[in-house]
Amino acid sequence: MQPADGVVPTEPRGPVDASVVPRFAGIATFARLPRLDEVERANIAIVGVPFDSGVSYRPGARFGPAHVREASRLLRPYNPAQDVFPFRAQQVTDAGDIAANPFDIAAAVAEIEEGARLLGEQVDRLVVIGGDHTIALPLLRATHAKHGPVAVLHFDAHLDTWDTYFGAPITHGTPFRRASEEGLIDLTASMHVGIRGPLYSKSDLEDDSRLGFAIVTSEFVEEHGVEAAMHRIRARIGDAPLYISIDIDVLDPAHAPGTGTPEAGGLTSRELLRMLRGLADRRIVGADVVEVAPAYDHAQLTAVAASHVVYELLSAMAPIDPST
């Protein structure tokens, strides 16, 4: 758990009491938390970005924020794995969605950046639910305006540092190339985790390294284990301000079928959650969880995984609660 970077309210308002209102009733804010307009001040805002016009294969992630919120109804106030009450130690709220133009990527990116900047003036940190991975670029622009260059820890099956698709420079496969070129990221402290599957060329890896990323592949985790992977991750990111970007397709399709570009051989949900818990002592300044596409989900498998990923991020971002 992290040192607090804002004033924590004396009595943070938590989720709706499940013993009073059944989990399947009421408005589905994330984890049934209060809305941003219902609290005096918030430390962290959960915000959705229902945009998926940057996808290259299966669309549908625009419906991801609502789907993840619905699955988050079952989350509970105490996280024993991190020994923290994430909603008691800080005021967490649901800020609704940032609306973005579904027909114009450039306009949408500008709207997302502006929305994130405005929210960033009201709260200390944002945790964003996508939407496709295009949204990481405007979110990193807004984060850079507040914190300067950040270490990016990117969990994904894919590099997302390609140059263009059909001549388009900003898509869900290009955000981290553009972020590197714009000076938004710390080139000495950024890393991909969970990369796997075929590439277009061996030069993809060479370009990626030049853009400032090291890699822990899915195969490395399989062969050496989570602890070895975490040793590499922690050594790479050091003490830099950390932005965590999680494409849900970092998980194997057995754990997250509801996504746009699935790849076999991914992490298990258990491995991913364990890695996030290992980052609780780092200075996490923001995060996103993207590419949940409910049309391809089964029994909410992907949404349940994504909601727990967000919960572990919130737990890792919590200041130490002296009452625990």
Over the stretch 184-210, which tens digit does the pLDDT of each residue have?
Answer: 999 999 999 999 999 999 999 999 999
The whole-number average pLDDT for the span 165-177 is: 96
Instruction: Please give the Cα distance from 161 to 60 (Å, whole number).
Output: 22
The overall pTM is greater than 0.75: yes
Closest of 128, 106, 151, 94 to residue 247, by C-alpha: 128
- Phi first, then psi: give them for residue 174, nearest 5 degrees: -125, 0
Distances 222 to 39, 137, 219, 266, 271 between C-alpha atoms, Å = 44, 30, 5, 9, 10
Instruction: Please give the Cα distance from 164 to 118 (Å, whole number).
Output: 29
pLDDT class for 22, splitting at 50, 70, 90?
confident
Bridge partners (DSSP) listed for residue 289: 129, 246
Per-residue pLDDT at 320 exceeds 80: no
> What type of residue is 25?
A
Residue 6 or residue 77, greater confidence:
77
Q: How many CB atoms lie within 10 A of CB 254?
A: 12
pLDDT attached to residue 11: 81
C-alpha angle with apex 77: 233 to 321, nearest 5 degrees? 65
- Phi first, then psi: give them for residue 196, nearest 5 degrees: -165, 170
pLDDT attached to residue 323: 53
Look up the CATH number of domain 30-316. 3.40.800.10
Distances 258 to 134, 149, 198, 249, 250 between C-alpha atoms, Å = 18, 32, 20, 9, 12
pLDDT class for 259, splitting at 50, 70, 90?
very high
Report CA 234 to chain centroid distance, whole Å.
18
In the numeric block, the tokens 């964003």 are attached to 128
Bridge partners (DSSP) listed for residue 125: 44
The whole-number average pLDDT for the span 24-28 is: 88
Per-residue pLDDT at 5 exceeds 70: no
What percent of the chain has pLDDT above 90?
90
The whole-number average pLDDT for the span 76-98 is: 96
Residues 110-132: tens digit of each pLDDT: 999 999 999 999 999 999 999 99
Residues 40-70: tens digit of each pLDDT: 999 999 999 999 999 999 999 999 999 999 9
pLDDT attached to residue 10: 59
Per-residue pLDDT at 39 exceeds 70: yes
* Domain range annotation of the chain: 30-316
pLDDT attached to residue 2: 57
The whole-number average pLDDT for the span 172-177 is: 98
In the numeric block, the tokens 């955000």 are attached to 175
pLDDT attached to residue 321: 54
